Chains A and B, each alone.
Chain A
Amino acid sequence: METLIALLAGALTTAGIWLMLSGHLLRFLFGLMLISNAVNLAIFTAGRLSMGRPPLLEPGGAPAPEMANALPQALLLTAIVIGFGLFAFALALTIRAFRAFGHLEVDRMRLAEPEPAEPELAGPELARPEKPAGAM
């Protein structure tokens, strides 16, 4: 069983990364969703799989026989919610980027790091021209 899930996680990873590399922000988001699913599956599988028995104690507190591993489940639960937060933030960023640039091609978004026209040398601070002082 683990083997099958491992293959599935690998396949989802492949699909996710391929989409993330596409250079299109929306497809990047799709890839992000896929890869977080793949990672969740991987964490889950690493905690071992056992069919059917949720980690619930019997009334009175006795452990039920052969319960699933509760630890990865707790990790996953928060990971899923956090992943959702990440995804939603990225989505907001995407919309914002589209509004600012008018397209979603990441390699054409160069507002923060413009294509260097010539190699610029950031000298030490003293080399820079100073603003007139005292304009407070």
Chain B
Amino acid sequence: MRLVEIEDLHVSFSQHDGLVQAVRGVSFGLDTGESLGIVGESGSGKSVTCAALLRLLREPPAKIAAKTLSLGGHDVLAANNQAISSLRGRVAAMVFQDPMTSLDPVFTIGDQIAETIQAHRKVSKKEALGEAVALLRRVEIKNPEAVVRFHPHQLSGGMLQRAMIAMALSCQPDVLIADEPTTALDVTIQAQILQLIKDIQAETGMGLIMITHDLGVVAETVDRVVVMYGGKVMETGPVEAIFEAPLHPYTKALLNSMPGQVAGKRRLVEIPGASPNPSNPPPGCPFHPRCPIATIECRQIVPPLETVGAGRQVACIKVA
């Protein structure tokens, strides 16, 4: 089943000094049980894309337009607030980078998980708390009976992120959207949380969207990759193909610039310049000012995302 379908999504924000075009024509989809990585740098539009999918943006200043924007078969753009609320958590649940700001400091972990459960199902508080303990145990928190009574400040960053995952799982969502879930964590804790997410996905068969700036996280966790830059999709494909034979010059440059891939102290391959300014994106291909193979045409033509093989698409007139 098609869990997520995004076609030609545009998201802009009106600001006092003009319009910020955060997402400029993004399309991708997700099937049941599939895991998708959306990789991009700050300002690439990867988080805004998923926030738009769950209608988490305040409108206005945000303005969302799309040919198709559907979640679990429901038209997200046409849905009213009540309908959207019933999709959130049940069809798609989200885990964010900073669990400390996503949790309420004055309520216990158990209360907050129970609240989510009761918002979607008619169960007693006692039953909901019992489920919260089971969920905390599922995310491998030791001594869940005690932790359920803890307040957020009593938990470490890694435990908080586990609690957030427990909360996201509480309504058995069809798709879990994780936005940089491990970026604030130490490297060993990151590896544990990624392992946990993979295990739960394998066990429940839910879909997974992993939003990250880290190619390492993508290489470790997902089946398929969408590479974003300047509010657009540069390339999509199966994870192995993307890493083995990247097509888009941006994907190639990103992979080449990764430090520490070989032994020895050395200069790294840089990508010259800086990411595009979303209130004043360059004409044509957003990557052309930094692209080693760009020509005058790349300034003039906005490259369409073209299919170039099994499950692969690339937006580059020099490659496609």
Q: Indicate, yes or no, whether A interacts with B.
A: no
Which residue numbers of B lie inside 8 Å of A, CB to CB?
A: none
Which residue numbers of A lie inside 8 Å of B, CB to CB?
A: none
